[in-house]
Structure 1
């Protein structure tokens, strides 16, 4: 395994920690800043919207810069943003700091995905992406529970100071191990990169990502109140249960990469179906501690099994000059899904049937993504049939 790929994974760990750690701190932030849990949940939506806006803009703005320079600059933004989060005096300042931090996210993963696929043979590209995204799973497995523990014992600000330190370490690792030659920027004309947005299959791939992952965050954003208020576990038990979720993410991430390397569209459709089933099962599994832990594990496996297939589908359909932009846009799509899910979950809690109904509502979003994936596969087959007919003629 190329050591540069592990360096990208380290950067992914830092960024993943700051994205997910707030979910283990919602109740502390809500109490300290005097806002509702649903309002605190909007800190996830604000971060996600920042990713969605920052990903295409920063990718275009840095398109002629060396990729290593871009990755290091993004990690610096990430570190400064987390320091601002730790120092935030009120909810509005915390939201602004989260948005600043989020600007690094989409372009880092978008550019990093392209760099990762260039480090391995073509038949291992999906696995390379899954290895880089292992940083996200490690963030959930280690960073989020540790952050929740820090927040419980030392206050939520201590968690953001710790994440800023992770940013410094990740910056150093990237500076040492990512080769500058591999990180050269793409020199295609801007219009060729933007033209990728005119490809229907790219747009369908982005839509699959948005709806598919909206289901994940509709539930996971509110995992702390779900476990404490519906399942009935103690607040101190949330961190160990999040470790189970992180373990599921690690399994699902590697599984999704291997399945996508073998057969991309079957992997995409199968993992989306599994995710919808896992989300729907929450209705029956969330009410007792033992079955809730099982649900958290299944959700972790199913949710990240979709990541490599989703990312590879967009990269495949954006082959050519537009891969950097398309890759970053798909990271933005993940986060638009996060924002949509967090917002929809808040609506279900404040104006709908409540916390216990989050699972089946989330499953509907993911089933929407599955429907678009099936439509996209049908379009592939329509294109293939005329080609086969011309060969036969």
Structure 2
């Protein structure tokens, strides 16, 4: 399909990203830099669902008319169907604020809804669909947008803090620039992240519940690291006047490690991050076994090391032959299997067994 020449670079990039597969989500820089209307702080689920809607609409998001997505696709946000209705209702109430020019030619602030309407099919199955249309102000912004962020889809969906998602998006927008720092007053940052006006007024709490959780998640999962600097107001004691969010590109090895972590099961992620997984044990037939260093090359039926993997296959493999799953796992992992060891290897194997079972009927 030809790309409409009336649109800016963002919609063209979204069109290309869709043709290349579902690895990245193209999000307009204007939307990333926009702020939530006061009193509105979208939940983690709402932020992820919005990203999936943007991905689904891709280069056609600026056009009037309905877009359609299945509930099965929206479950990529880790939300079940019974909670999806609440999440969509929440998104309908979200308003964004961004700079604009008034009809009189003066600087002004635009406040508008993101989504004009949605229609959700009531059948509770993965093939049911949701139809929606972006609001006219949102579509106009998307049509003219000329700068954007490439969001790693898997990394974004793996984040578990709603503030991590916004900071991650800011980092993706800035990481390719010479100046990779966001600067603003503390109230500006609170508004930017959607922190409720009455919450976390003490900066120590803001640091503890917003910045620190975002840092540990982003440092583990993103292709860059995140930190911040606190600027104090002269003559006002310890009061924080300004905060700088700083983003630093990772080296190749660290980028590969982050990509590997994104592919692993969520279970054990905190322990892997904290370095506390070395003594994890797998129990098979009542016997405690050490976390293995490599994946077996033969049958899983022999030896203590093989028994550890056999127990996982029996527990999570859906009744399929353990050696059949193992061969599929070796093919799937390829060369990566040579560098995966210990508890990370067991977690990867467990996740693959669950996926293998979910994609096939019971034997």
Query: TM class, shorter-chain normalised?
Result: under 0.3
Q: TM-score, normalised by structure 2?
A: 0.26
Larger RCO, structure (CA 8 Å, separation 6 or more): 1
Which one has a bigger Cα radius of gyration?
2
Q: TM-score, normalised by structure 1?
A: 0.24
